[in-house]
A and B are shown apart, each in its own frame.
Chain A
Amino acid sequence: GENVEQHPSTLSVQEGDSAVIKCTYSDSASNYFPWYKQELGKGPQLIIDIRSNVGEKKDQRIAVTLNKTAKHFSLHITETQPEDSAVYFCAARGRSQGNLIFGKGTKLSVKP
């Protein structure tokens, strides 16, 4: 089955800097890759997603890139703000599956 690895597990940046989180997946048939942000005491919130027919997607300060050949995808947050501090999860879904397989998460801290 699908396996998703996520790095780093913790990331600390200064306000205004960029943050990059990377994930790899094992199943070459996976075709959908969302990113979730989870704040303390809350459920994961979808922030951006990308499908396997697209190499890059951007939404304001957030972008995601996908390299299907290498089976990895990355989240880029530019001009980070303290409110970006949270745990971020990547996930992958196979072509024939409904459920998502998640990485273990990255705890991002943005220092003012």
Chain B
Amino acid sequence: NAGVMQNPRHLVRRRGQEARLRCSPMKGHSHVYWYRQLPEEGLKFMVYLQKENIIDESGMPKERFSAEFPKEGPSILRIQQVVRGDSAAYFCASSPEGLGSPLHFGNGTRLTVT
């Protein structure tokens, strides 16, 4: 059973470009979470999605950031018009259910904005 798959592992974007980060949850998992990690810091919650629904986006910046988890295909975290401050590691986690289920993380996408 493959784990949570994230791609790309590394992404370099110039200021003003768009970044698209993909996450395929573990087989059988229908809940996806996105977290951001700055160097030497903990993980900050961004958004929690179920298939075709955003459950909690309280941690996501109001502008430039969006997330989706369509019926078919991976979850996508999209950052428009990237700025240097967006440089970070972005981790996706999945769980089979929401409340009460352990979260399993992927190995992240490291975004660098030049």
Interface on A for B, CB 8 Å cutoff? 6, 32, 34, 36, 41-46, 49, 89, 93, 95-105
Contacts and interface: CB of A to CB of B under 8 A. Distances in A.
Interface of B: 4, 6, 31, 33, 35, 41-45, 48, 55-56, 59, 91, 95, 98-100, 102-108
Contacts of B42: 6, 89, 102-105
A102 B100 contact: no
A89 B43 CA distance: 9
B48 to A, nearest CB: 5
B91 A43 contact: yes
A46 B104 contact: yes
Contacts of A99: 33, 45, 48, 56, 59
B95 to A, nearest CB: 8
A34 B93 CA distance: 14
B48 A46 contact: no
A73 to B, nearest CB: 16
